[in-house]
A and B are shown apart, each in its own frame.
Chain A
Amino acid sequence: MPIGGFVVNVHPDFIETALDALKAMKGLEIHGSDDKGNVIVVLESDTSEQMEQQVKSIMAVEQVLSVGLTYFNAEDEVEKIEAGILRPGRSFGKKQFQ
């Protein structure tokens, strides 16, 4: 289960509105914010694919100006890949060679 630490920048005039929108999201924790519009966000998800969707949802919030990743841990996912449970980017497209 990947975990990511982000600084989300929201428009300083609309911090409360943005925070309300972020708080409604699943798997998202807000750890703090300041009056410049910096919001400390931690995301956790079942897969990094899901986290990518979470980031997209954050970016879709009207008052959000940028989403900056600062820390990312995916050890669990690497273990799943090793165990053969997860195959990233595998098997789309036809086989080209024997």
Chain B
Amino acid sequence: MGLSRREFLKRTAALTAASYVGMNLPISMEGEAQATDADSWHPGTCRLCGSGCRLELGVKDGRAVALRGISKSRTNFGYLCMKGMLFYKLMGDNHPDRLKKPLYRARKDQPFKEISWDEALDIAAREFANAVKKHGNDSVAYYGSGQALTEETYIFQKVMRGGLRTNNVEGNPRLCMASAVGGYITSFGADEPIGSYDNFERASCFFIIGSNTAEAHPVLFRRIMRRKMDHRDTVKVINADPRISPTSRIADLDLVFEPGTDLALLNAMAHVIVNEKLYDQDFINNYSTFRKGKDKKQVSFEEYRKFLEDYTPEKVAQLCRGNMTAEKIRTAARWFATSEGTMSIWTMGINQRIRGVWANNLIHNLHILTGQLCRPGADSFSLTGQPNACGGVREGGGLCHILPAHRLVKKDKLRHQVEKLWGIPEGRIPPKPGYHTVAMFEAVNQGKIKAIWINCTSPAQSLPNCDKYKKGMARDDVFMVVSDIFPTRTTELANLILPTAFIFEKTGVYGCTERRSQLTRKAVNAPGEAKPEVWMVREWALRLSRELNDPVIKKCVEPFMGKEPDYELPRSIWMEYTQKLTKGRDNDLSGATYEVLAKLPDGVQWPAPTEAFALKGGTDIKFVRGIDPLADKHAQNEMPYQFYGPAHPDRKLWIWLRPQKGPAEMPDEEYPFYLSTGRIIDHWHTSSMTGRVMELVRANPYAFVEINPKDAEKLGIKPNDMVEVVSRRGRNVLPAKVYVGPCEGMVFVYWHDMAEDRMINRVTKDAFDPGSKEPEFKICACRIKKVSGPKPLKPFIVEMS
């Protein structure tokens, strides 16, 4: 007798879960072959964080109806989190708020009108062309996203640089990843982590700093948790953060420090390692040099030792406050140095600092000193926030100073290489990098940028001190194109809104945190007239070429002409990027064709210079001979590690002398509290996607301000009271959560809320790291005050129709 449909689905659910942990259940599906839960299953990547979780989308009658993890995927082993569970609702016709038609208004005080794609692309081309003719090539700009597919970022930047002759190409990874990029390049000579996620199962010590992994990367956190619980006596977890978070649940040692004292803490750990001789002398001798200052001057170990004298654990514990003691710093340093494999993990807490690059350097220092690199379980591993910040923006040329495949704009040789590979005249790409993100929106404010295309991101909400930059975006002499799937705070300021296809509605590659590229093919139709960006850019470039009477612009998209947009077009772009641009570079993806990617459950880690090598999954540890083919190719001696990174001609890892540097704005009498911001498990970024899924909205309908109970008592603030958070830049009014999370003297606000009163980036500061140009979202000064008792609030989402 057949099972009922519900019973069939429940058994499917139970057996799927049991198969993940090798459990045999006393139920079976025998004789149920005729029942199905989906017509077809389509492999792809979750796009709601940077972990790169692989899943299959179940499609029935052309609609997305089910999800299951891919257990063979080495990113997530089939596990998903709640964000993944709910994102099917954003696809196809499953959500009524999706943008479905191009919308246009000539002036920003007018209502939008629906127009055709032909009209929309004509307008976009005309406005950009007019700006170029009247105000020069640098009066136009592209601002992209770590959520865009690699093919999208690549074709946008190609048309901007090679076609419109400007390096005004930026992306929101500047706001989250740029300091990690700077750190990897200056410490290791090459961007992106050396190792892989599989160190989670091999590490004996985890040093988590400035990352609430449990909430921001729950599926990866599960792996760390499993490692700890399976080896409770031998695996140590150190969690260093100004705020106690759910990540602390598995910590053996919590280091709570005042915001902005992180550099001193890291130097104090180095002090212990050096003074107690816990370093690896051979590793230091063979593979490293010591450096300091802007001119990267080489110094001696002795000078480094003297530099560290200022950072005794006693002195630094006093500076760090929180729960810090000298003994805790010593314990952390000893565990770090002596474990069989130590893995450091960090995200925005380290990157979003006025000296984020230095903070990254100081973590890398600890690994270089102790030789905790290039072997199982040992790695200095920055986690990414967005699904394609690494693959698209860092590797594909999505920032103002970098061309595809880690080439610097300012290097003539590398620029000319790209021009040659694109078949465009030498000198076509200008030698000067464009505006970095904060400078770009400052230029919008000043009216220097006359036309900007913003793709798949919402700077009106996500920029620090966002009110200041919204003024520029609202200018009527700034023509703004915004392509996205939903209305956002930024579409409100647009002239032209272009509806885009979502993941699984188009084809392309995401490259996640661990140098891994993964393909997602189209599985369902986009709603209405929404289109893939690659099609938009190609059609726009052809029009630009006509408007400006410039055949080179057409030349930029010529290899992609006549290709259908759902597969052949992105494939041809990927082929050009991987076969021409990455070939011979450190992120060589020549072996990772669409066909190879489609054969693997979890894609390919670069370098992967041949198809045969890519089919084995690529390189899981860079720089190690016998594992990384480029380490063998570039080997100059018999040493097992070959640090061939393009930025360090001495082929060494650099240990940096970087002093403590506090935040750009310190609390004072007028603004006595530190304000820090972050992400919550259910919401992601500006919540234009997750904010629309009712389950997630109801769980955390609005942002709140977390206040330490001791501070709350002093100020007479009770849970759910409405509290004003004011800085020199702006004001929010939010309900209070009184909670032993933030340390005393600090408040914390999640940044997903779109309501004006609760949009915390109106309050944050737009000071940025002079090296990476990444803003210091994590720290500014504020004051708080109770304004009323609890008040009912409504969630707020921007709507169009």
A residues in contact (CB < 8 Å) with B: 1, 3-7, 9, 11-12, 29, 31-32, 34, 36-38, 40-42, 44, 48-49, 51-53, 55-56, 65-66, 68-75, 78, 81-82, 87-98
Question: Among B65, B78, B82, B249, which residue has its beta carbon within 8 angstroms of that of A70?
Answer: B78
The distance in angstroms between the C-alpha atoms of A97 and B160, with both chains bound, is 31
Instruction: Give the complex CA separation of A51 and B696 in angstroms.
Output: 11
Query: Residue B111 at the A interface, CB < 8 A?
Result: yes
Beyond A40-B21, A72-B85, A89-B691, 9 additional contacts (C-beta under 8 Å) are A6-B17, A52-B82, A68-B81, A72-B88, A74-B88, A82-B63, A89-B693, A89-B697, A97-B799
In the complex, whether B89 has a CB less than 8 A from a CB of chain A is yes
Q: Which of B216-224, B622-630, B668-676, B760-768 contacts A (4 or more CB under 8 A)?
A: B216-224
Minimum CB–CB distance for B694 against chain A, Å: 5
- Closest residue of chain B to A4 (Cβ to Cβ) is B13
Chain B neighbourhood of A5, CB < 8 A: 12-17
Query: Using Cβ atoms and an 8 Å threshold, which residues of chain A touch B698?
Result: 49, 52
Question: Shortest CB–CB separation between residue A64 and chain B, in angstroms?
Answer: 10
Report whether A38 and B23 are in contact in the complex, using a CB–CB cutoff of 8 Å. yes
Interface size class of B (residues with CB under 8 A): 35 or more
> A-B pairs with CB below 8 Å: how many?
198
Complex A-B: 19 CB contacts under 8 Å:
A5-B16, A9-B226, A9-B229, A31-B14, A36-B21, A49-B694, A53-B699, A56-B699, A66-B221, A68-B219, A70-B16, A71-B13, A72-B80, A78-B88, A82-B63, A88-B89, A88-B96, A92-B794, A92-B796
* Contact among A31, A38, A51, A70 for B68, CB-based, below 8 A: A70
* Mask: chain B, 454-487; 1 = CB below 8 Å from A; 0 = not: 0000000000000000000000000000000001
Given A65-B229, A73-B66, A93-B796, A98-B111 contact (CB < 8 Å): yes
Known: A3-B13, A68-B222. A75 touches B79 (CB 8 A): no
Give chain B nearest CB distance to A85 CB in angstroms. 12
Interface pair A40/B25, CB less than 8 Å apart: yes
CA distance A98 to B93 in the complex (A): 22
Could you say which of B20, B93, B112, B218 contacts A7, with CB atoms under 8 Å apart? Answer: B20
Report chain B residues within 8 Å CB of A31: 14, 17-18, 25, 27
With CB as the reference atom, state the residue of chain B lying closest to A5.
Answer: B13
List B contacts of A6 (CB < 8 A): 17
Report B135-173 residues with CB < 8 Å from chain A CB.
none
In the complex, the answer to whether A89 meets B794 with C-beta atoms within 8 Å is: no
- Known A73-B58, A88-B694: A3·B80 in contact at CB below 8 Å: no
B487 touches A66 (CB 8 A): no
Residue of B221, B695, B696, B801 with most partner-chain A CB within 10 A: B695
By a CB distance below 8 angstroms, the chain A residues around B88 are 72, 74, 78
What 0/1 pattern do residues 268 to 281 of B give for CB contact below 8 A with A? 00000000000000
Q: For the complex formed, measure the closest distance between the CB of A43 and the CB atoms of chain B, giving whole angstroms.
A: 8
Q: Does B570 contact A (CB under 8 A)?
A: no
CB pair A69 B79 closer than 8 Å: yes
List the 10 closest pairs (A to B, CB-CB), nearest first: A5-B13, A89-B692, A52-B695, A68-B79, A75-B65, A71-B16, A5-B17, A98-B111, A31-B14, A93-B796
- Cα distance A42–B80 in the bound complex, in angstroms: 15
Does A92 lie within 8 Å of B795, measured CB to CB? Answer: yes
A41 and B13 CA atoms in complex are apart in Å by 9
Tell me how far the C-beta of B314 lies from the nearest C-beta in chain A, rounded to whole angstroms: 36
Task: Check B9 against A34 for contact (C-beta < 8 Å).
Answer: no
A7 contacts which chain B residues (CB < 8 A)? 17, 20-21, 79
Whole-angstrom distance between the Cβ of B78 and the nearest chain A Cβ: 6
Q: Is the CB of A44 within 8 A of B21?
A: no
Whether A96 pairs with B492 at a CB distance below 8 angstroms is yes
Is B97 a contact of A90 with CB atoms below 8 Å? yes
Residues of A within 8 A of B21 (CB): 7, 34, 36, 38, 40
Q: In the complex, A84 Cα to B226 Cα: how many Å?
A: 43
Q: Which residues of B contact A82 (CB under 8 A)?
A: 63, 93
| Chain A residue contacts of B78, Cβ below 8 A | 70
If A72-B66, A90-B96, A93-B798 touch, whether A42 touches B225 (CB-CB below 8 Å) is no
A3 close to B9 (CB less than 8 A): yes
B800 interfacial by beta-carbon distance below 8 Å = yes
- On chain B, the residues within 8 Å of A49 by CB distance are 694-695, 698
Alpha-carbon separation in the docked complex, A5 to B71 (Å): 13
Given contacts A7-B20, A66-B221, A70-B16, A81 and B68 within 8 Å (CB-CB): no
